[in-house]
Structure 1
Amino acid sequence: MEANWIKIYSTHEWFKAELISHLLEQEDIDLVQINKKDSSYMSFGTIELYVHNVDFTKAIEIIVLNEE
């Protein structure tokens, strides 16, 4: 992954990562989703979302507004 990406979200639950990814993509925010879940035991590991540092503030606002 190139420089200037910031982790903005991490979860153990696949559906939450997909929801946040979809919301960010609707706002034209480029993101990278890294799945660190263990392939044998899906209860271990996380899914992490990264955005460019210029989109950090907007992405966090979107996440906070949709977690209420």
Structure 2
Amino acid sequence: MPQLNISPWPMVILSMIVTLFFITQLKLLNFTFYTTPTSKLTKTQKHKSTWELKWTKIYSLPSMSQQS
């Protein structure tokens, strides 16, 4: 049985990898990458609540008022 000559294999493998790289680059060149949609700057409206219109005082509990 003859011996298999493997000397051209590295060149074949290298050329195959280079060819696959170029094919994928050409495929990706035709592919359209869509940009992410930019959010429109909307003017935020601040809604005033009743607690924002007046100043409120926070009272402590009666049991805590006489502590030292």
State if a TM-score over 0.5 links the two structures: no
Pair member with larger Rg: 2
Greater strand share, structure number: 1
TM-score between both structures, scaled by the size of structure 2: 0.26
| Higher RCO (C-alpha under 8 Å, 6+ residues apart) | 1
